[in-house]
Amino acid sequence: MYDDILVPTDGSEAVDRALEHALRLASDHDATVHALYVVDRRIATANSGDLHDEVVADLEAQGDEAVGVVADAASEAGLDVETHVAHGTPDTEIVAYADEAGIDVIVMSPEGKSPRERIRSLGSVSDRVADDASVPVFLIK
């Protein structure tokens, strides 16, 4: 039923709970786990010049670390895993990745908001993903 499971990650502790459920689901279905981190274009473009490059490099490093945590957990569980760091708006990139990679289900936490969203109260990435995704989205609190 589920061959490919997407776990979007922002590196927060909230992802740990979603990951636990995703790994169990992947084990039950012998599915591949996909870890995705999105370098938020809105944060990167808020800075200019050398600062922009530093911010992007820092966010990419955070992304590599975040998908690495998911990959390590999936590997320890004996599961196949793919990692990807994208650039863009998180909800848009998550939905696009799910469509492009043939994802069957997205498992994420509704609690991992970016600092920019907390400030502006733009709503949750997970809400927008759930609204826009063409596949089921499991929100793990």
Structure tokens at 114: 């970016």
Helix (H) or strand (E) segment spanning residue 119: helix 115-120
pLDDT at 47: 64
pLDDT at 115: 52
Which range of residues forms the domain containing residue 65? 4-139
pLDDT at 48: 66
pLDDT at 15: 92
Give pLDDT tens digits along the chain (141 positions).
899 999 999 998 889 999 999 999 999 999 999 999 999 888 767 666 667 788 888 999 999 999 999 999 999 999 999 999 999 999 999 999 999 999 999 999 987 645 554 444 345 899 999 999 999 999 998
22: CATH:
3.40.50.620
Cα gap 84→86, rounded to integer Å: 6
Nearest to 38 by CA among 89, 110, 74, 83: 89
Total tally of structural domains belonging to the chain: 1
DSSP 31: P
Mapped onto helix, strand or coil, the DSSP state of residue 71 is helix
- Helix then strand then coil, in percent of the chain rounded to 5, is 50, 20, 25
pLDDT at 23: 98
